[in-house]
Amino acid sequence: MPYPSLTKNLHHEVELVVAIGLGGSRIAAADAARHIFGYAVGLDMTRRDLQNEMKKQGRPWSIGKAFDHSAPIGPITLAAQAGGTAQAEIALDVNGVMRQHSNTSKLIWSIPEIIEHLSAAWELRAGDLIYTGTPEGVAAVVPGDQMRATVAGLAPLCVQVV
């Protein structure tokens, strides 16, 4: 991924990504599983300096979170083949050094709860991707850094910052 413009402080955030297969609104957590097509490993990249400046000014953070190449995603694994994503190891190495390591069971909300909350505010559609949150250990990357993001049971995602 190219190092984005306007920043000197680009941060990585490894996340489990949920791919929606069946859309809907006001989806109950108990029904959420039937709306999931599959899962993938994703990176939610952040221009942290811009995000922090917007926070100070009381403005929206979109310039820090939404930019070209800000959300790389690995191959999507079908839900039936993904295994136990509710209790999967999640990790990110930068240049072979562990930066983030946790378990998806530590998410603030479970995947069904996330789907319930989001579908109450927006109609979910087939093809929507939900990034579920990141564990501790978020840090900066620079051009030349190689990131390897993993969630147990899913294909890894390897991204080099250029």
pLDDT recorded at residue 84:
86
pTM of the model: 0.94
How do 10-12 and 139-141 pair as beta strands? Answer: antiparallel
Look at residue 95 and tell me whether its pLDDT is greater than 90: yes
What fold is seen in the domain 10-160?
Answer: Fumarylacetoacetate hydrolase; domain 2 (3.90.850)
pLDDT recorded at residue 20:
98
For the segment 99-152, what is each residue's pLDDT rounded down to a tens digit?
A: 999 999 999 999 999 999 999 999 999 999 999 999 999 999 999 999 999 999
Strands (E), 30-156: 36-43, 46-47, 77-78, 89-94, 97-103, 129-131, 139-141, 146-151
Of the pLDDT bands very low, low, confident and very high (cuts 50, 70, 90), residue 159 is very high
Which three-class secondary structure state does DSSP give residue 137? coil
Q: Domain locations in the chain?
A: 10-160
